[in-house]
Amino acid sequence: MRILLVEDDVQMGPTLQNALSQAGYAVDLSVDGIDAEALGDIEPYDLIVLDLGLPKRSGMEVLQNWRSRNNHVPVVILTARGSWEEKVQGFKTGADDYVAKPFQTEELLARISAVLKRSSGTSGGPLQAAGLLLDEDAQSVKLKDGRFFNLTGTEFRLLRYFMLHPGQVISKSRLTEHVYEYDSDRDSNVIEVYVNRLRQKVGTDLIQTRRGQGYIFGPA
């Protein structure tokens, strides 16, 4: 899953970016409102973490502009602790959740995971689909027969995206857009390699190839 992190603090921004990356997300970092607004409109992010106190353009204005253009990307806003007015205004503007500063990284990760599941129509709790149980903390998967497999970072991001979109035909280009960061070398042919590695772990029948279209996740 691909996330845009909008945070201008020179210490917090890179620290959060690293924590989100370690949690298995592809993360782009933006440090001002104008750049963030453009990226949010152009790039197909699965979720945006948006600080409200940004230079050049406030986070609230950025969010308002996205929603006015029918950009419904899920947004978790970062607010100052005790600023209930910002929280209320954020929800009215179209935020999906908020985290008050200072916060523990684990809280932010939990809220991001919950918003992503809600936005994809998945129920809360551990991510389950097609008989698989994904452990997002350990980045491993449990099969129906009880076997466990550890996943590499790319395998984990791919499988999480498949499990959040079961039964959908997903093209290789769409997968690359949601698995890699903005400045990564997005070779869609490499996706085939990782899909084949996933098949060796979860079973060849769960990830089917639709010739000329892409892949579909779920039992045949």
Match 């076997």 to its residue by tokens: 147
Q: What is the pLDDT of residue 10?
A: 95
- 83-131 tens-digit pLDDT: 788 889 999 999 999 999 889 999 999 999 999 988 887 766 788 888 9
> What is the average pLDDT across 175-186?
73
| Residue ranges of the chain assigned to CATH 3.40.50.2300 | 2-120
- DSSP state letters, 134-184: EETTTTEEE-TTS-EEE--HHHHHHHHHHHHSTT-EE-HHHHHHHHS-TTS
**How much is the mean pLDDT over the chain?**
90
Give kind and range of the element (H or E) at residue 67. Answer: helix 59-68
In the CATH scheme, what is the code of domain 2-120?
3.40.50.2300
Q: Residue 188: is its pLDDT beyond 70?
A: no
Q: What is the pLDDT of residue 124?
A: 65
| Residue ranges of the chain assigned to CATH 1.10.10.10 | 127-217
- pTM score, whole prediction: 0.80
Question: Predicted confidence band at 185 (pLDDT cuts at 50, 70, 90)?
Answer: low
Contact 115, 152 (CB under 8 A): no
> What is the average pLDDT across 63-82?
91
Q: Residue 73: is its pLDDT beyond 70?
A: yes
Distance CA 92, CA 107 (A): 22
> What is the average pLDDT across 8-17?
95
Q: Residue 21: is its pLDDT beyond 70?
A: yes
Strand, coil or helix: 37: helix
Distance CA 67, CA 197 (A): 39
What is the fold, at CATH topology level, of the domain defined by 127-217?
Answer: Arc Repressor Mutant, subunit A (1.10.10)
